[in-house]
Amino acid sequence: MRRLLLLAPLLLFAVSGCGVLQSSEGEATDSARDVARKAGERLYGQRPRTAEEVGYIASGVEGVEVLRVKGDSTRDGDGIEVVVRTSGTAYDQKFDPEPVTVRRCFAVRVSPKSEWREDPRDVDCPDGPRLTFAPPPEPPALPHEELRAKLPRVPEGGRVDEAEVRRVVAALDMDQAIRTEVKAGAGRVGVLLSVEGDGYGPQDCLLGRVSPGATEVWVPSRVQRMRGEGGCTIQNALDRMPPPH
């Protein structure tokens, strides 16, 4: 009887230790899922992307291995599903002699119906090595010096001719991927040249403004060119935003 009483605390400790080990594994899995969720955050957005683009962006997230990409475009049908493998670690110093590390696979869906910070779905890891993807082509260069040289100069008290500004912009030798916009307002004419961004990093754009007595060409600051900041708009060309503090 006394021997059984001595064994009881040991059995209780073993059961408790097992429970903690399971908890640590669950925490490690949650940590791995968080890494996969970051890949989903990077891919979230309304810009259409190909399977190659999705794979390249996801593989650039630290701690993510892309094992499978299914679908053609994020805007077609059910979009694109990318299966990623990540790892997570958890450690309870009271009971675990070693940190618990797990490797798990998750499916991240990218489609018009995707939600921000959507939970990745647990899946079995596909066989085979991680996939590699070629980087996308560099965006076309914006004609900064050419635009500066060819925009008209209007003297103080003069009148800016919108049609002339439009002719100058139309005559620039530019890549077809560069979007142009010209607008008049408050006695001046603004020009916007922009390249569609990825919705995550700063957008490439070039602004110009022709006013009586001043012709300006500039690139907004990096902060202003981030998504939602309004730097790459024709309104910013007409009424220049103050620099960020």
Give the mean pLDDT of 175-188.
Answer: 96
State which H helix or E strand residue 122 sits in: strand 121-123
CB of 227 closer than 8 Å to CB of 182: no
Tokens of 46: 């309304």
CB of 33 closer than 8 Å to CB of 106: yes
Q: How far apart are CA 189 and CA 172, in angstroms?
A: 17
User: In this prediction, what percent of the chain has a pLDDT beyond 70?
Assistant: 87
Q: Average model confidence (pLDDT) for the chain?
A: 88
65-115 pLDDT, tens per residue? 999 999 999 988 889 999 999 999 988 766 667 888 999 999 999 998 888
63: Cβ contacts below 8 Å, ≥ 6 apart:
35, 86, 87
15-60 pLDDT, tens per residue? 444 444 456 888 999 999 999 999 999 998 767 889 999 999 999 9
Q: How far apart are CA 83 and CA 178, in angstroms?
A: 33
132-145 pLDDT, tens per residue? 999 988 889 999 99
Give the mean pLDDT of 103-129.
Answer: 93
Give the mean pLDDT of 148-156.
Answer: 97
Report pTM: 0.61
Residue that is written with structure tokens 């916007």 in the block:
192
